[in-house]
């Protein structure tokens, strides 16, 4: 049974940094993309970043490119999203997801097969 378990969310002040983690289990993720999506209240889920599990190629949303860094530790079966200079607009539930590697579809949430339960990140204004 595939499980993606996020952790590390919380309430932080504007300008602070936070790292959220996703521990993956239940299958071999070689050949998969691991993605981070976020969903703010009243808004659609949006792509933030993704990384190839095997090769480590990274992909970012334009809004995340300058402040977010995605990485993975294969030995720990964990994917990280480091978020710097957080803004109130970053407030959302952050979801980890996994999909068969496809660079044309890496930003599409409906391409992803496995999802975690999400972790809340709140940046008060």
Taking only the tens place, the pLDDT of each residue in 36-81 is 999 999 999 999 999 999 989 999 999 899 999 999 999 999 999 9
Banded model confidence at residue 89, pLDDT cuts 50, 70, 90: very high
CA 70 centroid distance within chain? 7
pLDDT in tens, 92-119: 999 999 999 999 999 999 999 999 999 9
22: left (phi over 0), alpha (psi -120 to 50) or beta: beta
pLDDT (0 to 100) of residue 91: 97
Q: How far apart are CA 70 and CA 83, in angstroms?
A: 9
pLDDT (0 to 100) of residue 115: 98
Q: Is 17 helix (H, G, I), strand (E, B) or coil?
A: coil
pLDDT (0 to 100) of residue 85: 97
Average pLDDT, the chain: 97
Banded model confidence at residue 88, pLDDT cuts 50, 70, 90: very high
pLDDT (0 to 100) of residue 21: 98
């Amino acid at each position: 049974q595939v499980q993606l378990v996020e952790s590390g969310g919380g309430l932080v002040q504007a300008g602070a940094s936070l790292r959220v983690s996703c521990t993956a289990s239940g299958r071999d993720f070689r050949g998969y993309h691991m993605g981070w999506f976020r969903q703010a209240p009243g808004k659609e889920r949006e792509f933030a970043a993704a990384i190839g599990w095997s090769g480590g190629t990274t992909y970012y949303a334009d809004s995340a490119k300058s402040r977010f860094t995605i990485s993975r530790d294969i030995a720990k079966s964990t994917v990280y999203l480091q978020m710097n200079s957080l803004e109130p607009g970053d407030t959302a539930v952050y979801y980890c997801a996994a999909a068969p590697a496809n660079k044309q579809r890496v930003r599409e949430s409906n391409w992803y097969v496995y999802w975690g339960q999400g972790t809340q990140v709140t940046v008060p204004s």
